Structure 1
């Protein structure tokens, strides 16, 4: 395993911690700034929206530069954002720090996945992407619980000081461990070349699958604390430990999903999305059973995150030689899926459908994502068949009009 992947994973760990740890610290932040918890919640929403903006605009602005220095600059932006949060004298200063840090999120993962994929052989690209995203899963498994405990024991600012330190370590790792040269280190053709990737129908279908598939899982997860306490009957003190089980599932799913996607990305995504639908339906039907809920939490994390390496790899695959902006756009799509899933789940609860209704909504959303994936896979297979048909016995491929959907 290239050691540069460890530096990228550490950066992913810090970014994932910044995104999610605030959920456990909202009461302390709200009390410190004397705002309502609903107002404090905008620190989460504002971050998510800034991720989408950064994933598109910052990635587009940086396509002309070499990727390693860009990753370093993005990590500096991340460090500054968390430093501003740690020192924030008021709510709006805190919001500014959150937005600054979030702007680096989408671009870092979008560009970082391209760099990670180019560190390894073509047959190991999805696995390399999975290693980078291991940092994000570790943030959920270990970082969020311990970051929350640190913030509760020593004040919420201490958590953001710790995240700032993690960012500094990741910056040093990127500067010293990530290769400076090598295939794909700089994007050929700049922004114009990167924009050509969006001519591919397969890129757009892949992004839509990301929104729907990941959105279905996140929609169920957003309101999981209510399900666990109000339906499953767990105490509030048990919830953090159950979330660790969910995080263990994330870690396992991310690793196995990356290995499977290296063998056949479309087949893996179809199988995993179908499995996720089944898990969500079973969870919704058996949420009143504590043993079944425990099993469902692990499987929800496992199947939910097993999609991530494959979804990211698929977008890059059909973006041809200009994967950077498409990769960043797909990171933005994950966050659009987060917002969509949370919105749909909130609608079902507001409608009085109960605390299992977000799980049912997630199952329906994921099922729609599976249908889009089946359409995309069928189109890709048709393209492959047409290309093979264009190769005569001499083995020389003939030029032919390209199919309408790439």
Structure 2
């Protein structure tokens, strides 16, 4: 892998730490900002909403930009939103900084994914994306528990300052390793072709799978801290350790998924989603058993992130050579799930169903995700890609 792929993974680690860390800081944020835990959970949904809009918008606006320039601009704005967030104690202001930061984070994801596609061979794309997305799993293992510890001992603002500092390091790496040139005008993506690539039914089913799998993961993950302390009965001090174990499971899962997703995306998705459904049901039934619950949470991370490379590989395979907008739309689909998961969980908690209900909601969204995968197998493969060369036999099989 080119070193730039690992630098982009580091950049995702820096920003992904911010995306994830609020799950471990909800009690502290709620107390300091004088809001309820479900209201604090909306900060997670707001971040996802910003990404939902940012991915396709910024993908279109930066089609002709130097990719290095775009990545550096996005990182700079992201760092500044965290400085502003660390300096405020107003819930509305913090909500606004989360939306703006997420908007440019989505743009970073889209441009980074396309950059990776130009740096590696076609048969290594899912593996390369697993390296980049692996930055998010490392954020789960290191950034999330570190942010939780910082928040518990030095105030949640310290976690925001740390993310801003990590972004500065990421900027230095991008400046040193990502090529600076603009896309060749003859080969640069054309907006018309990008929209034509979206006319594939299987592609929209893939987006649906992405959204539903993500919602299945986030409906539980977003409320892990209060679930562990209020229902399972663990101490507050134990939460960072459990979150780190979840991250370790995620890291193992995404690496295993990356090994098989290029050749077997359908089978990888089927196994991952089925595992999520079974584990969510077990979690709903066994929250009084501390050891079993922790084990289930670790496996949830593994099966959840194990699906990620396949979710990306299917989109690249189906969209052909004009995948910039399709990739951005897939990232928006991720964030539909990230928005819907905490929202559905918050509805259940506010209705008095308790944290155990989160597992049953995840079972429902997981079954819906599995249905989209199975249904896609019976949808005819679309005709030629927008570049006019037709979908390859390998792409047909992979889709």
TM-score (norm 1): 0.86
Counterpart CA distance in 1 for 2:92 and 2:353 is 35
**Structure 1 residues 290-369: aligned runs within 5 Å:** 290-369=290-369
Q: Does 1:105 align with 2:105?
A: yes
Counterpart CA distance in 2 for 1:272 and 1:185 is 40
2:219 is aligned to 219
Counterpart CA distance in 1 for 2:37 and 2:351 is 22
Mapped contact 2:217–2:304 kept (Cα < 8 A): yes
2:376 is aligned to 376
Counterpart CA distance in 2 for 1:101 and 1:173 is 20
Mapped contact 2:9–2:133 kept (Cα < 8 A): yes
**Structure 1 residues 192-341: aligned runs within 5 Å:** 192-341=192-341
Mapped contact 2:23–2:224 kept (Cα < 8 A): no
1:166 is aligned to 166
Mapped contact 1:242–1:294 kept (Cα < 8 A): yes
- Rate the CA distance shift 1:264–1:181 in 2: closer, same or farther, 3 A: farther
- Rate the CA distance shift 1:76–1:231 in 2: closer, same or farther, 3 A: closer
Q: Deviations over 1:18-65 (max 9, x none)?
A: 122234445555666666666555433322211111112122211232
Counterpart CA distance in 2 for 1:237 and 1:215 is 27
**Structure 1 residues 126-165: aligned runs within 5 Å:** 126-165=126-165
Mapped contact 1:67–1:185 kept (Cα < 8 A): no
Q: CA deviation at 1:114?
A: 2.1
- In the alignment of these two chains, the number of paired residues is 388
Q: CA deviation at 1:91?
A: 4.4
* Bigger CA radius of gyration: 1
Q: CA deviation at 1:182?
A: 10
Counterpart CA distance in 2 for 1:304 and 1:184 is 37
Counterpart CA distance in 1 for 2:293 and 2:328 is 34
Q: CA deviation at 1:368?
A: 1.2
What is the DSSP-based 3-state SS (H/G/I as helix, E as strand, rest coil) of the residue aligned with 1:339?
Answer: helix
What is the DSSP-based 3-state SS (H/G/I as helix, E as strand, rest coil) of the residue aligned with 1:167?
Answer: helix
Mapped contact 1:64–1:190 kept (Cα < 8 A): no
Gaps of 5+ in 1: 388-396, 398-402
Counterpart CA distance in 1 for 2:39 and 2:370 is 35
What is the DSSP-based 3-state SS (H/G/I as helix, E as strand, rest coil) of the residue aligned with 2:108?
Answer: helix
Q: Deviations over 1:276-332 (max 9, x none)?
A: 222222332333322321221111000011111111121122111221121112112
Q: CA deviation at 1:151?
A: 3.7
1:82 is aligned to 82
2:393 is aligned to none
**Structure 1 residues 383-394: aligned runs within 5 Å:** 383=381
TM-score (norm 2): 0.87
Counterpart CA distance in 1 for 2:344 and 2:152 is 31
Counterpart CA distance in 2 for 1:22 and 1:239 is 13
Counterpart CA distance in 1 for 2:30 and 2:287 is 31
Q: CA deviation at 1:209?
A: 0.4
Counterpart CA distance in 2 for 1:49 and 1:188 is 29
2:65 is aligned to 65
Mapped contact 1:67–1:186 kept (Cα < 8 A): no
Mapped contact 1:60–1:325 kept (Cα < 8 A): yes
Gaps of 5+ in 2: 385-389, 391-395
Counterpart CA distance in 2 for 1:192 and 1:198 is 10
Considering only aligned residues, what root-mean-square deviation do their CA atoms show, in Å? 2.9
Moved more, 334-343 or 292-301: 334-343
